[in-house]
Chain A
Amino acid sequence: MPTVPDPLPPDPHAMIRFSGVVKRFGDNVVLDHLDFTVAPGEFVSLIGPSGSGKTTILRLLMTLEKVDGGTIEVCGDYLSHVRKGDRLGRADEKHLRAMRRRIGMVFQQFNLFPNMNVLRNITEAPVRSLGLAADEAEARALDLLDMVGLSDKAQAHPAQLSGGQQQRVAIARALAMRPDVLLLDEVTSALDPELVADVLRVLRDIATSTDITILCVTHEMQFAQDVSDRVMMFDHGRVLEDAVPEKLFSEPGHERTRRFLRAVIDRE
């Protein structure tokens, strides 16, 4: 789709806004005219069954996928569109790169670079894409390693670390870019249960001590309940429920939510 007719003007108060977003994979409509906003500094947890589109939302924000319909705004600017007269057209790579500066992502599989040590993993992007001086990047990296509790692992290689340690390095790597928005894609799902707690502790710290806007896809319901400002329950590409955790977890409005929560929480 080349242009969007009659677009709504960008909302300066929202950090993130999805307007009528449609995403298809082949015949499968994963996101079906999705609308939601996220305020600056909010910690929003996205929960719901697999295939409900939660990860797709993060991947669209990180420009790993393209929307098939609708628009996404980040910090008041269109993510992948530009204004052409009174219509919108697709943005070019230059625009995408500028938008990506504000967004960081931590992946389920960590995706650390195995041919670099921990320190270089964290300093590589600040030096190469933000243009930071090497020593400034290194100082920032060491601070972050301290924050995630891995100061002594700066020279280690990813292969020498446990899953939980690798994920904490991945978090430090994303934070080193000083993003406005941090996307967490099931960051504890690939970890052994004993290692999950350390990672969640780090995420809790980030949530309370910074004003980064965070979107967190997770199955860790207790964590979502404790740390989120808001929880969104997804099903079949639509927002089923959107409420503060106290309300959603204790008195869910939808039967589907109730069933989902019962199944997930009883399992733990």
Chain B
Amino acid sequence: MNWSWQAAVESLPLLLKGLLVTVELTLLGSVLAYLLGLALAVLRRARIPVLSQAIWLFVEFVRSTPLLIQVFVLFWLLPSLTGFKMSAFVSGVVALGLHYASYTAEVYRAGIDAVPKGQWEAAVALNLPRAHVWRAVILPQAIPRVLPALGNYTISMFKETPLLLSIGVLDVLYQAKAVGAETFRVVEPYTMAGVLFLLVSLPASILVRRLERRRAHSA
């Protein structure tokens, strides 16, 4: 076995620095995905003639194509078309947010559809304005239902961030690669990177599962 505990420990500081970046990417990307997904779901449901179809097409397209290509489009293509260049980190956040918004939009849709039709009908009978029905009746019932699914997508996003090293984002994997290049020992940094992922995602998954179980009980 070709393992050095010393090398493993020495790789940690840089790896943890990268982990911080990974966590930042995940949190910012998640916020964007949560908000944008909700907007997409509500707009789609509003059934505005051209807009709703366009949204559906966009969502299906983003969902069915690789995140990596979408990252490249934002980081390489966008500047060449519009002259607007985002840093690697920002490109990463936007790409993650857009890509995962296509997932969360579907999650929100399911949650909204699960609200009983009678709630909509009572709101019509009471002549409540449409926007207010969304805000005060439908979303307060739809969103709590889908929180576990949203949590799971955040965890998925966390695990997908390493592909951003392709545009030079200084995440965990980038740092592992850097350590490997410097010390010529690849075993320890890459293994420790994997361990770090496990250490974060396993407890997170357990938390989400517990949240799911609690909802199922109180429902």
At the interface, yes or no: B199 with Cβ under 8 Å from chain A?
no
Query: Do A107 and B127 form a contact, CB below 8 Å, given A113-B137, A115-B140, A128-B132?
Result: no
Give every chain A residue within 8 A of B116 (Cβ-Cβ): 109, 111
Asked if B127 contacts A111 (CB within 8 A), the reply is: no
Determine which of B126, B132, B136, B137 lies in contact with A177 in the assembled complex, contact meaning CB atoms within 8 Å. Answer: B126
Closest CB-CB distance, B217 to chain A, in whole Å? 14
Check: B119 CB closer than 8 A to any chain A CB: yes
Q: Closest CB-CB distance, A102 to chain B, in whole Å?
A: 10
Asked if B52 CB lies within 8 Å of chain A CBs, one says no
What residues of chain B lie closer than 8 Å to A173, measured between beta carbons? Answer: 126
Tell whether B121 is near chain A: CB-to-CB under 8 Å.
yes
Q: How near does chain A come to B109, taking the closest CB pair, in angstroms?
A: 19
Assess the A107–B122 pair: CB atoms within 8 A.
Answer: yes
* B205: Cβ under 8 A from any A Cβ: no
Instruction: Let me know if A114 and B132 touch, CB within 8 A.
Output: no
Residues in B93-123 with C-beta less than 8 Å from chain A: 116, 118-119, 121-122
Residue of B nearest to A177 (CB): B126
Contacts of A63 in B (CB 8 A): 124
Q: Smallest CB–CB gap between B147 and chain A, Å? A: 15
Q: Is the CB of B118 within 8 A of A107?
A: yes
Rounded to whole angstroms, the CA-CA distance of A45 and B86 in the bound complex is 68
- Check A62 against B128 for contact (C-beta < 8 Å): no
**Distance between B116 CB and nearest chain A CB, rounded to angstroms:** 8
A90-113, CB < 8 A from B: 97, 100-101, 103-105, 107, 109, 111-113
Q: Please classify how large the interface on chain B is, using the bins under 10, 10 to 19, 20 to 34, 35 or more.
A: 10 to 19
B135-152: which have CB < 8 Å to A? 136-137, 140-141
A: interface residue count bin? 20 to 34
Given the known A-B contacts A124-B136, A128-B132, are A113 and B127 also in contact in the complex, defined by CB atoms under 8 Å? no
What's the Cα separation between A104 and B121 when bound, in Å? 11
**Known: A100-B124, A107-B122, A129-B126. Is A115-B137 also a contact (CB below 8 A)?**
yes
Interface check A1, CB cutoff 8 A: no
A-B residue pair count with CB separations less than 8 angstroms? 59
The listed residue (B127, B136, B141) touching A100 by CB distance below 8 A is B127
Question: Contacts A113-B119, A115-B140; is A124 near B125 (CB within 8 Å)?
Answer: no
Q: Are B137 and A105 in contact (CB under 8 A)?
A: no
Which partner residue on chain A sits nearest B119 by CB separation? A111
CB contact list, A109-128 vs B, under 8 A: 109, 111-116, 124-125, 128
Given contacts A113-B137, A115-B141, A124-B136, contact A129 B128 (CB under 8 A): yes
The reply to whether A109 and B118 form a contact with Cβ atoms under 8 Å apart is yes
Bound CA–CA A111/B127 (angstroms)? 14
B203 within 8 A of A: no
Tell me the B residues contacting A by CB distance below 8 Å.
116, 118-119, 121-122, 124-129, 132, 136-137, 140-141
Which 3 residue pairs are nearest across A and B when measured between Cβ atoms?
A: A125-B126, A111-B122, A111-B118
Query: Which residues in A have some Cβ–Cβ distance to B below 8 Å?
Result: 62-64, 97, 100-101, 103-105, 107, 109, 111-116, 124-125, 128-129, 170, 173-174, 177
Contacts A62-B124, A63-B124, A107-B125 known; list 9 others, CB within 8 Å.
A97-B127, A100-B127, A107-B118, A109-B116, A111-B122, A125-B127, A128-B129, A129-B128, A174-B125
Please name 6 pairs of A and B residues whose Cβ atoms are closer than 8 Å in the assembled complex, sorted by A: A64-B121, A101-B127, A104-B125, A115-B136, A115-B137, A124-B136
